[in-house]
Amino acid sequence: MTYETILTEQKGRVLLITLNRPKALNALNTQLSHELIDALTKADDDDGVGCIVITGSQKAFAAGADIKEMQNQSYMDMHGTDFFGQWDKVATLRKPTIAAVSGYALGGGCELAMMCDFILCSDSARFGQPEIKLGVMPGMGGSQRLTRLIGQAKAMEMCFTGRMMDAEEAERAGLVSRVIPADDLLDEALKTADTIANMALPALMSIRDAIRRTQEMPLTEGVRFERRVFHALFATDDQKEGMAAFVEKREPQFTHK
């Protein structure tokens, strides 16, 4: 598949995906969603990729789902095609995924960022769920993920008013892991991704699975799940290598197996 709305670049074990519809502030139309999901799915299956970074432009990570594409749709156009249903795939990826956000991350843009494992943002970032101003509501998981990440009070206020949250508030609220000066964001995101990509992949995938389950499991079940997966990591080469390297006072050479 050749891509027209995204750019992909592999840097070592990191795949960088740049949303690339600058004239529409990276609005997420159907073509972009198919191309992005295709690239993500291939990266997930590629042994040479250990971490994925999704970014946009300085002005916009993504200004939402494409309003012009949706404007004249009927209920059955949306419901009959399960419009946005394809995005569920992003949350089922197994490799670590980082959103590097500068500028606007609105509506579906904020929702795409929240589907990633964590968000690094620049001081120019603005997060919001402005669908209410269009007479609709979040439809790519925003009402659910935003509430889990920042709590009901802020989520309700943001979704009721469409107010944008700046980077400082987003960090305070727990929406992003770190705020970085705009000029350094991509380098820092790639550096972080490179660190992650060179860790033991079986352990990374297990950590991701366990942390994501906190949203769906009661604590006792989650702790039991964690313990079972922790035990399973003792069947991996990387556990043998990681512990041997510590004892031998050297850096581990993980094979991601």
Q: Interface with ligand CAA by CB under 6 A: which residues?
A: 24-25, 27, 63-68, 104, 106-108, 111, 130-131, 134, 138-140, 142
Closer to ligand CAA by Cβ: residue 137 or 211: 137
Cα 207 from Cα 205, distance rounded (Å): 6
Q: 43, 60, 99, 111: which one is catalytic?
A: 111
**Shortest distance in whole angstroms from residue 64 CB to ligand CAA:** 3
Strand partners, 28: 65
Q: 35, 50, 131, 189: which one is catalytic?
A: 131
**Shortest distance in whole angstroms from residue 72 CB to ligand CAA:** 13
Q: What is the number of the residue whose Cβ is closest to ligand CAA?
A: 107
SS3 55: strand
Closer to ligand CAA by Cβ: residue 63 or 186: 63
Closer to ligand CAA by Cβ: residue 57 or 198: 57
**Shortest distance in whole angstroms from residue 115 CB to ligand CAA:** 11
Active site residue 109: no
Active site residue 65: yes
Q: 50, 108, 128, 142: which one is catalytic?
A: 108
Q: 24, 39, 65, 99: which one is catalytic?
A: 65
Give 85-109 as a DSSP string.
GGGHHHHT--S-EEEEE-SEEETHH
Pick left, alpha or beta for residue 26 (phi over 0 → left; psi -120 to 50 → alpha; otherwise beta): left
Closer to ligand CAA by Cβ: residue 162 or 242: 162
Active site residue 27: no
Closer to ligand CAA by Cβ: residue 139 or 252: 139
Burial (Cβ within 10 Å: 0-12, 13-18, ≥19) of residue 66? buried
**Shortest distance in whole angstroms from residue 179 CB to ligand CAA:** 20
Active site residue 111: yes
**Shortest distance in whole angstroms from residue 112 CB to ligand CAA:** 9
Which stretches of 63-204 are assigned E, i.e. beta strand?
Answer: 97-101, 104-106, 118-122, 126-128, 165-166, 178-180
Contact between residue 147 and residue 155 where contact means Cβ atoms under 8 Å apart = yes
Strand partners, 77: none
Closer to ligand CAA by Cβ: residue 111 or 117: 111
Contact between residue 59 and residue 25 where contact means Cβ atoms under 8 Å apart = yes
Distant-in-sequence, close-in-space partners of 39: CB < 8 Å, separation ≥ 6 = 3, 6, 8, 15, 17
* Nearest partner of 180 among 53, 90, 52, judged by Cα: 53
**Shortest distance in whole angstroms from residue 139 CB to ligand CAA:** 4
* Nearest partner of 66 among 105, 27, 115, 11, judged by Cα: 27
Q: Which residues are identified as catalytic?
A: 65, 108, 111, 131
